[in-house]
């Protein structure tokens, strides 16, 4: 355990002092916060004793996880910024880790903090809290201790969940608080055998419906099949397994005699299963029912969405159907909100790019663009940028199509062109809402670009995306859309271009030798033979040698010299030459840096950057900390 419990004693004068006692978690109660013990840190006229509600900061101070100076700094900040939560400030300032903060919150609410492993969970006890109750309350059963059921949850403050489960099971509960990762791992392990259903058994349980022509389709039969337990179970399995495997998309593709099911993992499609063709209509109809689509309409494309809970984790799904000659092809996009809770460094940015980007999102006005092809992580970067901002002090609004992730600190507008709500019309209305920060999902046309520029020139910070191959091309793209160069020069702050490359699997990573002729081509970029790695292939990475992806980036910061070029001749050639002479790292440079760090392979960098001739690439050897030349 990270913490020991300490009990407060009151002196005759009424002030509180800390003394060590053996204390059970349940004995901790709310009480007054004594600040008098800290008077040596500040003058009496700066007394902070108005803070009279015990919170995590007090727990952390008592257990020496924060210093007195940090504690007083926090309380002064809260006096100056009413409504600031202690936990929020401590995390923002990176004073304590997630686990330390969670343990402090557990103690505050009278619970025990414990790391859990699936091997510690008794299956018989686990099944006492069924899936509906588990997902509703975010709680799972761990084991039985005599007549007391030991349960685990991730949110210490959820007292209603404890009471609900206690009432429904009519049992006394002992509550453990565990990290979300442990909770998910347990649910995944326990559900593995439940959801890993046998496809043959499902097929045998299903009534076959053979569709020959459109007029022969019996909608009632299809709907009945879609509602049958085997179909529901199989669709649930496909979704939960995709989430467990880290898939970004599920492809359900009808063929002549089979339905092909594939997952996109780390940007690459993998075959998962093949189901008989007669199952296809029922599978698609089940997915349509989940996402409130019309199961009787199979002639036109449909789009929908649904939120699901898998292993105690909420995940949004975006559904797209498309009529083909063998039936409706269905693609399910998996949107895991955990991916947007990352800092810039966790996205794979170098310290130089991360720091520069952090400075960009703090500017009061101007345009910041993220460019790259579809699937290059642009939205994730923008959402991560929004999370760096103070939603309590700023009015942050987004205009998106679609809204991919819901953010609780800003207002999000979903584009609906069928009713006339376009990017341009939404932005015009948004500018009357006193915004500080505006995020536009994508700049697609002149009208949207023009409004974005005007917003930037009138004191708003605008974040958006463009589809261009590199950072320098974005200026030319705006000119081609119809924006005057002088307006671009006046409003554009910076452009970040990015790609995603597959990360070498850490479980099977090993050095490897490349052919001499290939090494001669890459040696000039400062890569040594002992810096080359690949994944040998293992069960964890499904034999691919890769697990996860990491970004490669180039950042064009628009300074006075770039503004002069934009005003004079903003051609692609001029912009690229200016970017290269500025000394900034290109996408290729950053990719080579990650090769030298052992994170990815040269082949991945060449694929992502579409470099065909290594001899044409300028030599720029990275010297960032962590890379040995």
Q: What is the 3-state secondary structure (H, E, C) of 349-410?
A: CCHHHHHHHHHHCCCCCEEEEEECCCCCCHHHHHHHHHHCCCCCCCCEEEEECCCCCCCCCC
Strand, coil or helix: what is 523? Answer: helix
Does the pLDDT of residue 512 top 50, yes or no? yes
Name the H helices within 410-492: 423-430, 446-457, 473-481, 485-491
Mean pLDDT, range 130-142, rounded to an integer: 85
CA dihedral for 153, 155, 161, 162, sign (positive or negative): positive
**Residue 453 Cα distances to 90, 379, 459, angstroms:** 36, 20, 10
- What the block records as the tokens of 530 is 């002992």
| Residue 595 to residue 611: CA distance in whole angstroms | 15
Three-state DSSP at 58 gives helix
CATH of domain 196-335: 3.30.450.90
Residue with tokens 């296809």: 280
Where does the chain hold its CATH 3.30.300.160 domain(s)? 114-193
Q: Is the pLDDT at 5 greater than 80, yes or no?
A: no
Q: Is the pLDDT of residue 522 over 50?
A: yes
C-alpha span between 315 and 339 (Å, rounded): 11
* DSSP code for 526: T
> What is the secondary structure of 176-234 as a DSSP string?
EE--HHHHHHHHHHHHHHHH---HHHHHHHSPP----SGGG--HHHHHHHHTSHHHHHH
Torsion angle, alpha carbons of 177, 180, 186, 192, to 10: 160
Cα 468 from Cα 473, distance rounded (Å): 6
Nearest 5 degrees, angle CA 414-CA 360-CA 502? 70
pLDDT at 199: 52
| For residue 138, pLDDT beyond 70 | yes
- pLDDT tens, 271-320? 888 888 888 988 999 899 888 898 888 889 999 988 888 777 778 899 99
How far from chain centre, in Å, is Cα 383? 8
Provide the pLDDT for residue 363: 95
405 pLDDT exceeds 90?
A: no
Strand partners, 580: none
In this structure, are residues 180 and 313 in contact, taking their beta carbons and an 8 Å threshold?
A: yes
Asked if residues 584 and 559 have their Cβ atoms less than 8 Å apart, the reply is no
| pLDDT at residue 191, rounded to an integer | 67
> Which conformational region is residue 138 in: left (phi greater than 0), alpha (psi within -120 to 50 degrees), or beta?
left
Quote the pLDDT of residue 530: 80
625: burial class by Cβ within 10 Å (0-12, 13-18, 19+)?
Answer: exposed
Hey, what CATH topology would domain 340-616 get?
Rossmann fold (3.40.50)
Residue predicted with more confidence, 310 or 481: 481
pLDDT reported for residue 123: 85
For residue range 41-93, what is the model confidence (pLDDT) as tens digits? 333 333 444 445 688 999 999 988 888 888 999 989 888 888 788 888 888 88
2/5: higher pLDDT: 2
Q: Does the pLDDT of residue 207 top 50, yes or no?
A: no
3-state secondary structure of 10: strand
Please say if the pLDDT value at position 34 is more than 70. no
Q: Where in the chain is the domain with CATH 3.30.450.90?
A: 196-335
CA-to-CA distance for 326 and 330, rounded, in angstroms?
12
List phi, psi (to 5°) of 320: -135, 125
- pLDDT value for 8: 37
Q: Are 417 and 441 in contact (CB under 8 A)?
A: no
d(CA 320, CA 329): 8
Average pLDDT over residues 231-246: 85
Higher pLDDT among residues 607 and 37, named by residue = 607
CATH 3.40.50.300 domain position(s) in the chain: 340-616
Total Cβ atoms within 10 A of residue 52: 11
- What is the mean predicted confidence (pLDDT) over 258-275? 89
Q: What gap in Å lies between CA 370 and CA 372, rounded to an integer?
A: 7
Q: Name the nearest CA neighbour of 498 among 608, 358, 622.
A: 608
| Window from 89-98, 362-371, 463-472, 504-513 with minimum mean pLDDT | 89-98
| pLDDT, averaged across the chain | 81
455 band by pLDDT with thresholds 50, 70 and 90: very high
Measured distance CA(100)–CA(94) in Å, rounded: 11
Per-residue pLDDT, 298: 87
CATH number of 114-193: 3.30.300.160
Tokens of 564: 């002069």
As a whole number, mean pLDDT of residues 177-182 equals 88
Which has the minimum average pLDDT: 48-57, 156-165, 169-178, 407-416?
48-57
Other CB atoms closer than 10 Å to residue 48's CB: what's the count?
17
């Amino acid at each position: 355990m990270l913490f020991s419990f300490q009990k407060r004693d009151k002196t005759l004068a009424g002030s509180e002092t800390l003394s060590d006692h053996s204390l059970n978690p349940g004995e901790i109660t709310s009480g007054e916060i004594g600040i008098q013990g800290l008077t040596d840190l500040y003058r009496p006229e700066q007394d902070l004793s108005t803070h009279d509600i015990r919170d995590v900061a007090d727990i952390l101070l008592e257990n020496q996880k924060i210093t007195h100076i940090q504690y007083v700094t926090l309380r002064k900040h809260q006096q100056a910024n009413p409504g600031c939560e202690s936990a929020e400030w401590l995390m923002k300032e990176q004073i304590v880790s997630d686990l330390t903060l969670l343990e402090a919150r557990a103690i505050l609410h009278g619970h025990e903090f414990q790391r859990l492993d699936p091997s510690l969970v008794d299956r018989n006890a686990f099944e006492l809290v069924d899936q509906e109750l588990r997902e509703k309350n975010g709680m799972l059963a761990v084991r039985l201790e005599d007549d007391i059921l030991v349960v685990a949850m991730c949110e210490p403050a959820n007292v209603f969940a404890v009471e609900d489960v206690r009432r429904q099971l009519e049992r006394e509960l002992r509550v453990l608080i565990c990290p979300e990762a442990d909770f998910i791992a347990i649910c995944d392990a326990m559900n593995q055998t439940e959801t890993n259903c046998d496809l043959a058994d499902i097929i045998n349980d299903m009534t076959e419906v053979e569709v020959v022509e459109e007029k022969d389709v019996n909608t009632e039969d299809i709907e009945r099949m879609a509602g049958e337990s085997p179909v529901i179970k199989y669709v649930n399995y496909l979704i939960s397994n995709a989430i467990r495997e880290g898939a970004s998309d599920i492809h359900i593709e009808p063929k002549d005699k089979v339905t092909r099911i594939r997952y996109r993992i780390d940007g690459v499609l993998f075959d998962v299963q093949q189901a008989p063709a007669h199952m296809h209509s029922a599978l698609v109809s089940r997915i349509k029912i989940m996402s409130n689509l019309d199961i009787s309409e199979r002639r036109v494309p449909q789009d929908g969405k649904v939120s699901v809970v898998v292993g105690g984790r909420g995940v949004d799904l975006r559904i797209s159907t498309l009529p083909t000659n063998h039936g409706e092809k269905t693609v399910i996009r998996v949107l895991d909100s955990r991916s947007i809770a990352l800092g810039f460094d966790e996205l794979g940015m170098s310290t130089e790019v991360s720091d520069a980007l952090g400075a960009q999102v703090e500017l009061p006005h101007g345009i910041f663009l993220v460019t790259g092809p579809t699937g290059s992580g642009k939205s994730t970067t923008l959402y991560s940028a929004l999370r760096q901002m103070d939603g309590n002090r700023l009015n942050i609004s987004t205009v998106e199509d679609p809204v991919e992730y819901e953010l609780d600190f800003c207002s999000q507008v979903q584009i609906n062109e069928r009713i006339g709500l376009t990017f341009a019309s939404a932005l015009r209305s948004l500018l009357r809402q006193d915004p500080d920060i505006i995020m536009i999902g994508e700049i697609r046309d002149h009208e949207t670009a023009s409004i974005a520029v005007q917003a930037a020139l009138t004191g708003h910070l605008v974040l958006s995306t463009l589809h261009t191959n590199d950072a320098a091309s974005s200026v030319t793209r705006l000119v081609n859309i119809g924006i005057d160069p002088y307006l671009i020069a006046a409003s554009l702050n910076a452009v970040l271009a990015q790609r995603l490359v597959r990360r070498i699997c850490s479980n099977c990573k090993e050095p490897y030798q490349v052919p001499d002729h290939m090494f001669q081509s890459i040696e000039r970029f400062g890569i040594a033979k002992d810096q080359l790695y690949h994944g040998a292939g293992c069960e964890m990475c499904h034999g691919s040698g890769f697990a996860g992806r990491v970004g490669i980036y180039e950042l064009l910061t628009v300074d006075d010299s770039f503004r002069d070029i934009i005003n004079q001749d903003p051609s692609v050639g001029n912009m690229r030459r200016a970017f290269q002479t500025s000394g900034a790292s290109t996408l290729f440079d950053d990719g080579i840096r990650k090769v030298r760090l052992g994170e990815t392979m040269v082949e991945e960098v060449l694929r992502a950057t579409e470099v065909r001739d290594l001899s044409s690439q300028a030599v720029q050897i990275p010297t960032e900390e962590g890379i040995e030349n």
